[in-house]
């Protein structure tokens, strides 16, 4: 049996009670669990101070920057919507984001992004890895990097890299998103925010029977391991034990346990529920959660559909920022709102906007970020960046710096140095606190 060069865990990503964990990461919040299955207040406060976490809200399909962060009203490309003032004098965003406008003092808006690809899949990879695809190497996504580098303890109960996807679509469930970091840091996908399958004990299996079964399994494994222990057997053992720890924290996945008034503020729709779940997971110690909101790929009737989609995004996003702040988590949680690309300034003849990577916007908030900042400019019609052009590499450096990591360091897959972030770029200092 060939031992693994790293502490590999189960390769199985199927979301089952036993097999769903690809690895452990995130903060070990097993101590002082409160009645809701995640950290009790005093532990939460400790987490808030010491553990950094990342939340990516991915507006899948390509959010129009002109209908959101960089409006150009009354221009040939501006469309029909107004720009509205925000909580920061001098900063205006689209009228479609009235609740978010009141959060502008917490946000840093990057308006000068050029991400080089107008393709959904390639654009997503570029935005999540901070690099253009290169032959011969796959780079890990931000989630895997965060799970690897932000893990507080090694015996964490929850996966460190979780993706919450809508019922349909919302981007790829990229099983190789950890690349050379290994399956331990690969994402666990929760489709429609549903908890992992089989996380709840079947009703016909009593707790006593379950415990007896587990005890029997452990005795058999221990006897086997006495003569045939390897990295693989360690990995399987670890995955079973992690599954057990996750099962003990099953409640964290249940948003129905949330105070109904809080759930109302997030909104009783899919995205509201998914964002609330994300907050619960982050609060329970998960290092990285990505929530996808679908869909923004508005080649046809862009304006009507952005009314609908941003109408669903706006209030839950503002609620999330307030909620994180109220719980003392915002200063240790980096929040990023991105898409795989923006949309064309040119309006097509079906009132649509098409794919556009040359000049669009991303928003950051929270940990390490200077609120109320705007960096970069586009021209009057949004067709080109005129000041401080950045790419996904600059953003990747910025994310890592914001959470206290050094992006100039290396990973060493197979003992070969690979920079954590693209060494040709650097962090956007103007938005770092």
Partner 1 sequence: MPPPADPAAARLERELKHTRPLIGCRFDPSGRFLFVSAEDDGIYRFDLLTGGKVALAGHASWVRGMACVTPPVPVAGAGQAQDWERRQVTLGAAAGFAAATLPPPKLPPFTLVSGDYHGKLIWWPGDADTPKPLRVVEAHKGWVRSLAVSPDGKTVASCGNDNAVRLWKADDGSPLRTLEGHTSHVYNVAFHPDGRRLASCDLKGVVKDWDLKTGTADREFDAKVLWKYDPVFMADIGGARGMAFSADGSKLACCGITNVSNAFAGVGNPAVVVFDWKDGKPRVLKPKDVFQGTAWGVAFHPAGFILAAGGGSGGRAWFWTDDVTSTHMLTLPAGGRDMALSADGSRFAVAGANGTAYVYTFNPGPASAPAPPSAPPVKK
Binding site for partner 1 (CB under 8 A): 61, 74, 76, 79-82, 166-169, 270, 294-295, 297-301, 304-305, 307-309, 347, 349-350, 352
Which helix or strand (DSSP H or E) is residue 224 part of?
Answer: helix 207-228
What is the rounded distance in angstroms from the CA atom of residue 73 to the CA atom of residue 82? 6
- Which C-beta is closer to partner 1: that of 61 or that of 183? 61
Instruction: Kindly state the smallest distance separating residue 307's Cβ from partner 1, in Å.
Output: 7
**Cis peptide leading into residue 295 (ω within 30°):** yes
- Residue pair 114/385 in contact (Cβ under 8 Å)? The answer is yes
Instruction: Kindly state the smallest distance separating residue 406's Cβ from partner 1, in Å.
Output: 39
Instruction: Kindly state the smallest distance separating residue 227's Cβ from partner 1, in Å.
Output: 54
Task: Give the CB-side neighbour count of residue 333, counting CA atoms within 13 A.
Answer: 34
Instruction: Kindly state the smallest distance separating residue 100's Cβ from partner 1, in Å.
Output: 17
- Which C-beta is closer to partner 1: that of 168 or that of 204? 168
Coil, strand or helix at 334: strand
CA 8 to chain CA mean position, Å: 23
| Closest to 96 measured CA to CA, from 124, 127, 73, 62 | 73
Coil, strand or helix at 215: helix
- Which C-beta is closer to partner 1: that of 215 or that of 304? 304
What is the rounded distance in angstroms from the CA atom of residue 190 to the CA atom of residue 197? 9
Instruction: Kindly state the smallest distance separating residue 277's Cβ from partner 1, in Å.
Output: 17
- Which C-beta is closer to partner 1: that of 79 or that of 371? 79
- Which C-beta is closer to partner 1: that of 297 or that of 314? 297
- Residue pair 417/410 in contact (Cβ under 8 Å)? The answer is yes
- Which C-beta is closer to partner 1: that of 287 or that of 298? 298
Environment class of 350 (CB within 10 Å of its CB; exposed 0-12, middle 13-18, buried 19+): exposed
- Which C-beta is closer to partner 1: that of 258 or that of 312? 312
Instruction: Kindly state the smallest distance separating residue 268's Cβ from partner 1, in Å.
Output: 16
Contacts of 115 (CB under 8 A, 6+ apart): 123, 126, 127, 340, 341, 357, 360, 391, 392
- Which C-beta is closer to partner 1: that of 350 or that of 416? 350
Instruction: Kindly state the smallest distance separating residue 85's Cβ from partner 1, in Å.
Output: 15
Instruction: Kindly state the smallest distance separating residue 67's Cβ from partner 1, in Å.
Output: 13
| Closest to 356 measured CA to CA, from 68, 32, 117, 42 | 117
Phi, psi (degrees; rounded to nearest 5) at 257: -80, -10
CA-based R_g, the chain, Å: 22
């Amino acid at each position: 049996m060939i031992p693994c060069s790293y502490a590999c865990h189960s390769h199985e990503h199927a979301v089952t009670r036993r097999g769903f964990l690809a690895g452990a990461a995130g903060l070990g919040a097993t101590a002082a669990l409160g009645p809701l299955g995640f950290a009790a207040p005093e532990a939460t406060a400790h987490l808030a101070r010491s553990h950094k976490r990342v939340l990516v809200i991915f507006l899948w399909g390509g959010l129009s920057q002109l209908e959101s962060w960089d409006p150009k009203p009354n221009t040939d490309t501006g469309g029909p919507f107004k720009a509205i003032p925000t909580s920061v004098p001098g900063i205006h965003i689209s009228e479609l984001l009235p609740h978010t406008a009141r959060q502008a003092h917490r946000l840093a808006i990057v308006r000068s992004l050029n991400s080089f690809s107008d393709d959904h899949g390639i654009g997503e990879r570029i935005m999540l890895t901070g690099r253009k695809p290169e032959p011969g190497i796959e780079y890990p996504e931000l989630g895997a990097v965060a799970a690897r580098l932000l893990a507080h303890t090694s015996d964490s109960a929850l996966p460190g890299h979780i993706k919450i996807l809508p019922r349909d679509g919302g981007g790829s469930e990229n099983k190789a998103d950890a690349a050379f970091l290994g399956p331990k840091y690969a994402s666990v996908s929760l489709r429609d925010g549903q908890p992992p399958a089989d996380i709840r004990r079947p009703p016909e299996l009593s707790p006593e029977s379950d415990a007896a079964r587990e005890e029997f399994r452990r005795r058999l494994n221990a006897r086997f391991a006495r003569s045939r222990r390897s990295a693989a057997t360690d990995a399987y053992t670890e995955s079973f034990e992690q599954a057990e720890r996750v099962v003990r924290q099953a409640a964290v996945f249940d948003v129905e346990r949330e105070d109904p008034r809080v759930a109302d503020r997030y909104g009783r729709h899919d995205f509201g529920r998914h964002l609330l779940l994300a907050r619960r997971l982050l609060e329970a110690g998960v290092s990285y959660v990505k929530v996808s909101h679908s869909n923004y790929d508005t080649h046809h009737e862009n304006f009507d559909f952005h009314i609908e989609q941003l109408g669903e995004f706006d209030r839950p996003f503002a609620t999330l920022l307030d909620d994180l702040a109220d719980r003392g988590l915002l200063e240790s949680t980096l929040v990023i709102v991105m898409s795989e690309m923006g949309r064309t300034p040119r309006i097509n003849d079906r009132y649509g906007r098409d794919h556009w990577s040359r000049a669009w916007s991303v928003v950051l908030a929270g940990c390490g970020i200077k609120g109320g900042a705007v960096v970069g400019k586009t021209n009057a019609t949004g067709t080109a960046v005129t000041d401080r052009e950045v790419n996904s590499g600059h953003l990747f450096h910025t994310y890592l710096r914001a959470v206290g990591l050094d992006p100039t360091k290396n990973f060493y897959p197979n003992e070969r140095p690979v920079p954590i972030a693209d060494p040709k770029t650097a962090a956007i200092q103007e938005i770092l606190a």
